[in-house]
Amino acid sequence: MKILAICGMGLGSSMILKITLEKVIRQLGLDASVDVTDITAGRSQAESADIVVTSEELAERIGGVKAQIITVKDYFDVQEMTEKLQNAIEKIKKE
Amino acid sequence: MSGILSLLIDILSVPAILVGLVAFVGYLATKGKNFSDALAGGIKASIGFFILSGGATILSGSLNVLGPMIETAFHVQGVIPNNEAIVAIALGQLGQSTAIIMVLGFVFNLILARITPFKYIFLTGHHALYMAALLSASLTVIGLSGWVLWLVGGLVLGFLEVLMPAWTQHLATQVSGKSEWTIGHFSSLSYVSAGFAAKKLGGDPKTTSAEDMKFSKSLGFLRESMVSTGIIMFIVFLVPAFFMSAAARSTLGGDTNWVVYLLTQALTFSAGVAVVIYGVRTILADIVPAFSGIAEKIVPDAKPALDIPVVFPYGANSVIIGFLSSFVAGAIMMLIMGNVGLAAIVPGLVPHFFVGGGAGVIGNAFGGRRGAIVGGIVNGIIISLGAALLLPALGGLGFANTTFGDADFQWVGILVGLIGKLFVH
């Protein structure tokens, strides 16, 4: 599974999302990789990802893509990320 | 034997290889990664360094056109604060010491978090890299070199990585209502001043919150730094052109129309910055998570210090208010400073957006919508003055027509310069 973490510059907050995501991936025993990128490149890169993780305001700028979009409020909250990631995976399985 | 030793020293003096080795070791220390992952991670980080150098070449070309234009038109030095640009240029000469200071900074961050009450781990890797570059530049100017430079630089960086997050903890708690993390972004002086001023001059954060207002989302494109840098740079190129003589203006682009030529220069600068950012990301993509993993083992009770956009979800309107008021304050400061003999600091959209936006969120948390405006203005004033006063401390780099955009890089550089004047010379 390919997960894309997106923030404004693709340097700082997306790296935090990656750290949180990798913790959740280890805990859940998923087979997934996480890439980080910025909002400009993210729109096209999202086409080849299964899940996109970002903030709410940036999610609006990404618009319609095939990937499941997760928006988080607290970037370092493992619990919030776990719930939202599991929801997204459920949705992918149903499709 | 001495042949092997000198080969080893040669290898370690190439910053790209040094960075690659750090990523390689970091990867090996990360759970669930094997040797081939580590090798790939190391090679990627090395290549990231070369990508960054390539970006520096692209954007310096454009800055070398702009500098003389501003000189001719206004007879002052014009400077565009842009962290990526100045760091990329600095790394051309200071790559080795910057890489070593960054690594030692990590080590001292861990040690200090372990043995002092300041239990913070600084996870904003690009700001650690930029501060390492600022320290190598300013400490070199005051005469340090070799091991002394690396140790002093690493120690100062390590201290900043625990002290600045400790200083901003109360702001993060006020904004988010949580104390599990704090802000790790080297604009702490702006954020603390914004919070203080908003508390004194703002309204009631509960009844006058900026978040209760209806707000246009049309400024959202500013989050795309490639676009916003391109736009602002075109304006920055056009303004001095209008103040040049018609004859000088028409020869700017040779056979090309001068407006078209300036447009290509502006977009080239933005392209260079984008390449630098991509290089920095390639370098850090594996180093930062590895550092976080190591830190959790060594200092399990430490709190993470995070990049400023982590506060943006707590105040989407305040980000825009903070940005606008910071930018307007920066523009007014440029006019004032150009007239009193300081360098004219052109307000860059990127530092005003991210730091001004953060100052707006913090200002709103302490003083409502008036607090958000006050916070932005305070940041605009601080980073404009700071950028101008920093230039002499950077030596030759001070003439690069670009400089550091965030307050902590600025005050640290200025302080190093002052200490150098008092004690070293």
Q: What is the per-residue pLDDT for B209? A: 87
Tell me the pLDDT tens digit for each residue of B234-287: 998 999 999 998 888 888 888 899 999 999 999 999 999 999 999 999 998 888
> How many A×B Cβ pairs under 8 Å?
104
Q: What is the per-residue pLDDT for B32? A: 63
Q: Is B306's Cβ below 8 Å from some Cβ in A? A: yes
3-state secondary structure chain A: CEEEEEECCCCCHHHHHHHHHHHHHHHHCCCCEEEEEEHHHHHHHHHHCCEEEECHHHHHHHCCCCCEEEECCCCCCHHHHHHHHHHHHHHHHHC
Q: Identify the residue whose tokens are 């740079």.
A: B233
Per CB-CB distance under 8 Å, the chain B contacts of A12 are 124-127, 185, 306-309
Tokens representing residue B188 in the block: 């702490």
Q: How far apart are the first and last CA of chain B?
A: 40
Measured CA to CA, the distance from residue A77 to residue A80 in angstroms comes to 6
Say whether B164 sits in a helix, a strand or coil: helix
Q: What is the per-residue pLDDT for B127? A: 96
Cβ-defined contact of A76 to B226 (cutoff 8 Å): no
Q: Is A18's Cβ below 8 Å from some Cβ in B? A: yes
Q: Is B313's Cβ below 8 Å from some Cβ in A? A: yes
Question: Which residue range is the domain that position B390 belongs to?
Answer: 2-424
Q: What is the per-residue pLDDT for B316? A: 85
Largest Cα–Cα separation, chain A: 33
Tokens representing residue B368 in the block: 């409502």
Q: Is B325's Cβ below 8 Å from some Cβ in A? A: no
Chain B nearest CA to A66, separation (Å): 22
Per CB-CB distance under 8 Å, the chain B contacts of A4 are none
Pick the CATH number of A2-94 from 3.40.50.2300, 3.30.310.50, 3.40.50.1970, 3.90.45.10: 3.40.50.2300
Q: What is the per-residue pLDDT for B35? A: 86
Tokens representing residue B10 in the block: 């040669």
Q: Is A93's Cβ below 8 Å from some Cβ in B? A: no
Q: Give, for B353, the enclosing helix (H) or strand (E).
A: helix B349-390
Tokens representing residue B165 in the block: 């997050």
Cβ-defined contact of B185 to A12 (cutoff 8 Å): yes
Cβ-defined contact of A11 to B277 (cutoff 8 Å): yes
Residue A49 has pLDDT above 60, yes or no: yes
Per CB-CB distance under 8 Å, the chain B contacts of A29 are none
Per-residue pLDDT of chain B (425 residues), as tens digits, is 578 888 887 877 888 888 898 888 888 877 666 888 889 889 999 999 999 999 999 998 898 898 889 888 888 888 889 999 999 999 988 999 999 999 999 999 999 999 999 999 999 999 999 999 999 999 999 999 999 999 999 999 999 999 999 999 999 999 998 888 999 999 999 999 999 999 999 988 888 888 887 766 666 677 777 888 888 889 989 999 999 988 888 888 888 999 999 999 999 999 999 999 999 999 988 888 888 888 988 999 999 999 999 999 898 889 989 999 999 999 999 989 988 888 889 888 888 989 999 999 999 999 999 999 999 999 999 999 999 999 989 988 877 889 999 999 999 999 999 998 887 65
Residue A44 has pLDDT above 90, yes or no: no
Tokens representing residue B60 in the block: 């310096």
Q: Is B124's Cβ below 8 Å from some Cβ in A? A: yes
Q: Is B369's Cβ below 8 Å from some Cβ in A? A: no
H helices of B116-224, in order, are: 125-141, 146-176, 188-201
Q: What is the per-residue pLDDT for B1? A: 58
Q: Is A29's Cβ below 8 Å from some Cβ in B? A: no
Q: What is the per-residue pLDDT for B226? A: 84
Q: What is the per-residue pLDDT for B210? A: 86
Task: Name the residue of chain B whose CA is nearest to A21's CA.
Answer: B289
Tell me the pLDDT tens digit for each residue of B52-74: 999 999 998 898 898 889 888 88
ipTM, 2 dp: 0.90
Chain B nearest CA to A20, separation (Å): 9
Per CB-CB distance under 8 Å, the chain B contacts of A55 are 309, 312-313
Q: Identify the residue whose tokens are 């310069």.
A: B417
